[in-house]
Chains A and B, each alone.
Chain A
Amino acid sequence: MSMGMYAQPAEAVDERQITRRIAAGDREALSELYARYQRALFNYLLQLTPDYGLAEEILQDTLVAVWKSAHRFEGRSSLQTWLIGIARRQAHNTLRRHQLPVADETEMAGLVATGPEPEACTLASVARDELAEAFQQLAPLHREALVLLFVHELSYQETATILEVPVGTVKSRICNARRALRAVLDAREEAGQ
Chain B
Amino acid sequence: MMPRMSQNNQHISDVLPAYLNGRLDAAGAERVRAHLETCADCRHELSAWEAVSGAARLASVSLPAPSPMLMNAVWAKIDAQDKATGQQKSMQRVMYHLWLVFTRQIPLIHKSIWVASILVNVLMCVLVFLSHASARHNLQGVEGVLSLFTTIAAATGVAFMYQAEHDAGYEIILSTPTSIRIVMICRMILVVGYNMALAAVTSAIIAITLGGTLWDFMHIWLGPMLLLASISLTVAVIFGSVVSVAVSLLLAVMQAIATSFEQAIPLIHVLRANLLQTTPTAFFIAFLLIVFAVYYAPRQPRLSNS
- Whether A and B are associated in the same complex: the answer reads yes
A interface residues with partner B (beta carbon < 8 Å): 2, 4-5, 27, 30-31, 34, 38-39, 42-43, 46, 52, 55-56, 59-61, 63-64, 67-68, 113-117, 119-121, 123-124, 126, 128-129, 131-132, 134-136, 143, 146-147, 149-151, 153-157, 171, 174, 177-178, 181
- The B46-69 residues at the A interface (CB cut-off 8 A) are 47-67
Given known contacts A116-B45, A129-B58, what 6 new A-B pairs fall within 8 Å (CB)? A34-B71, A46-B63, A60-B73, A121-B44, A123-B48, A132-B55
Q: Are A38 and B57 in contact (CB under 8 A)?
A: no
Q: Are A153 and B60 in contact (CB under 8 A)?
A: no
Bound together, the chains give a CA A157 to CA B71 distance in angstroms of: 31
Residues of A with C-beta under 8 A to B63: 42-43, 46
Bound together, the chains give a CA A131 to CA B55 distance in angstroms of: 5
Q: Are B78 and A59 in contact (CB under 8 A)?
A: no
CB of A65 to closest CB in B, whole Å? 10
27 contacts between A and B (CB under 8 A): A5-B60, A34-B74, A39-B65, A42-B63, A42-B66, A56-B73, A67-B78, A116-B41, A116-B44, A117-B45, A120-B41, A120-B44, A120-B47, A131-B52, A131-B54, A132-B62, A135-B55, A135-B59, A146-B52, A149-B17, A150-B21, A150-B52, A150-B56, A150-B57, A151-B56, A154-B21, A181-B55
Which size class do B's interface residues fall under? 35 or more
- Secondary structure at chain B's binding surface: helix, strand, loop or mixed? helix
By beta carbon, the residue of chain B nearest A64 is B77
Partner of A132, one of B23, B50, B58: B58
Q: Are A171 and B58 in contact (CB under 8 A)?
A: no
Q: Are A114 and B66 in contact (CB under 8 A)?
A: no
A-B contact count (CB 8 A): 139
Residues of B with C-beta under 8 A to A151: 56-57, 60
Bound together, the chains give a CA A43 to CA B42 distance in angstroms of: 31
Residues of A with C-beta under 8 A to B61: 5
Query: Is B303 interfacial (CB-CB < 8 Å)?
Result: no
Q: Are A174 and B48 in contact (CB under 8 A)?
A: no
CB of A63 to closest CB in B, whole Å? 5
Bound together, the chains give a CA A146 to CA B23 distance in angstroms of: 15
Residues of B with C-beta under 8 A to A121: 44, 47-48
Q: Are A147 and B60 in contact (CB under 8 A)?
A: yes
Residues of B with C-beta under 8 A to A157: 1
Residues of B with C-beta under 8 A to A156: 1, 17-18, 23
Q: Are B54 and A128 in contact (CB under 8 A)?
A: yes
By beta carbon, the residue of chain A nearest B77 is A64
- The B208-261 residues at the A interface (CB cut-off 8 A) are none
Q: Are A116 and B42 in contact (CB under 8 A)?
A: yes
Q: Are B23 and A123 in contact (CB under 8 A)?
A: no
Bound together, the chains give a CA A60 to CA B79 distance in angstroms of: 13
Bound together, the chains give a CA A157 to CA B47 distance in angstroms of: 23
Given contacts A52-B64, A115-B13, A136-B59, contact A124 B22 (CB under 8 A): no
Bound together, the chains give a CA A38 to CA B17 distance in angstroms of: 25
Bound together, the chains give a CA A30 to CA B13 distance in angstroms of: 40
Contact with A along B4-42 (1 / 0, CB 8 A): 000000010110011011110000000000000000011
Q: Are A135 and B56 in contact (CB under 8 A)?
A: yes
Residues of B with C-beta under 8 A to A126: 51
Q: Are B14 and A155 in contact (CB under 8 A)?
A: no
Residues of B with C-beta under 8 A to A67: 74, 78
Q: Are B78 and A124 in contact (CB under 8 A)?
A: no
Query: Is B70 interfacial (CB-CB < 8 Å)?
Result: yes
Residues of B with C-beta under 8 A to A123: 47-48, 51-52
